[in-house]
Amino acid sequence: MKSRDLFERALRRIPGGVNSPVRAFRSVGGEPPFLARAKGAHVWDVEGREYIDYIGSWGPMILGHGHEEVVEAVRRQLDVGMSYGAPTEAEVEMAELIAELVPSAEVVRMVNSGTEATMSAIRLARAAAGRDKILKFEGCYHGHGDSFLVKAGSGAATLGVPDSPGVPAALAALTLNARFNDIDSVRALFEANRGQVAAAIVEPVVGNMGCIPPKEGFLKQVREACDRAGALLIFDEVMTGFRVALGGAQARCGVRPDLTTFGKIIGGGLPVGAYGGRRDLMEQLAPSGPVYQAGTLSGNPLAMAAGLATLRHLKAHPEIYEQLEKRGAALEKAARATILQNDWPVCVNRVGSMATIFLHPGPVRSWDEASACDRGRFARYHRAMLERGVLMPPSQFEAFFLSAAHDAEIIDKTAAAMRESLAEAMG
């Protein structure tokens, strides 16, 4: 079976042939490889071609594919059941471990996806504040909830439809869009909507318009602006949680949000989401309080087993973050050297094990700058990398991810592929 044959079959039964839009390769051309297996830092397609993987299931595989401790934890759980619809010890242990590693998450509720986590956090914030409006940032993607598909990043930006049909105008009007790294835009929106904004939600390190770090002090300024406006602050750490640091991006920046959303790594590669925060807020959720949210498969035992094994390994081996920083820095250095040597209009953003090559002279600090990238050249770069056996996210507006399995040899091979691919794309 070939990827092309599978894609043709998929097009007949699945919208666009994929179950998540960014997988379709439409923005980079060609057809997606259909993957058959993965191990460590590598994946193989159905035709047996091997790739160095920098998608990592879009972030969860921080230990690499098929990590022995994670696989064994799932096997043990399989032997005793896949789902019960009743409380389990693992759910309690997960909540306790998240609260230990991320102190702002005093109480935690498990859900099934990052989108479900952000939607639920917004409902809770609106109820707690008694207000309807939310403030988000242009190019930040918080899942496909109606309130978020207004100037969104990730797949919505790739498809060119950030304002999705099907989102009621009345609901979209309740979403305010500030500019990331522009505190004046935040303050102006709070002032123009005084007493109406329930919460501001932000990716503390943006990953859904490419990797964009916050300016020094920006997140503290957002925290202060929220406090002055009487609004809650929500950190969307679905991507950054336990990736950029063991305590997430909030541990790096020293800012304590009121609510935090999680996903990806806490499921170890299985579907998962969670949100947590101040006890007085979280205890407003049913059945403790009146704010309703439920989920049949929330806290699924398999996801809890994989996630606990991953988090426990990271906690026991904090040196992994030093290793990821070292490998990420080496790849960044190699890319920057090539760019400078050739005077190409290309720049690199990186935070820990998240990074993006922007086909833009830089700097890239906001959606306006990210959206000005040369997407045609990025598509040529992506295809050239794929031909050299390196699988990158098929969008200019997605971060790529390193794992603990990306050793020095793999980084060197990737750097060589980058040099050749950039030369091909810029030629």
As annotated, the active-site residues are 141, 236, 264
Asked if residues 374 and 360 have their Cβ atoms less than 8 Å apart, the reply is: yes
Asked if residues 274 and 110 have their Cβ atoms less than 8 Å apart, the reply is: yes
Rounded distance between C-alpha atoms, residue 118 and residue 189, angstroms? 21
User: SS3 for the chain, per residue?
Assistant: CCHHHHHHHHHHHCHHHCCCHHHHCCCCCCCCCCEEEEEECEEEECCCCEEEECCHHHCCCCCCECCHHHHHHHHHHHCCCCCCCCCCHHHHHHHHHHHHHCCCCCEEEEECCHHHHHHHHHHHHHHHHCCCEEEEECCCCCCCCHHHCCCCCHHHHHHCCCCCCCCCHHHHCCEEEECCCCHHHHHHHHHHCCCCEEEEEECCCECECECECCCCCHHHHHHHHHHHHCCEEEEECCCCECCCECCCHHHHHCCCCCEEEEEHHHHCCCCCEEEEECHHHHCCECCCCCECCCCCCCCCHHHHHHHHHHHHHHHHCCHHHHHHHHHHHHHHHHHHHHHHHHCCCCEEEEECCEEEEECCCCCCCCHHHHCCCCHHHHHHHHHHHHHCCEECCCCCCCCEECCCCCCHHHHHHHHHHHHHHHHHHHC
Rounded distance between C-alpha atoms, residue 170 and residue 105, angstroms? 32
Rounded distance between C-alpha atoms, residue 147 and residue 176, angstroms? 10
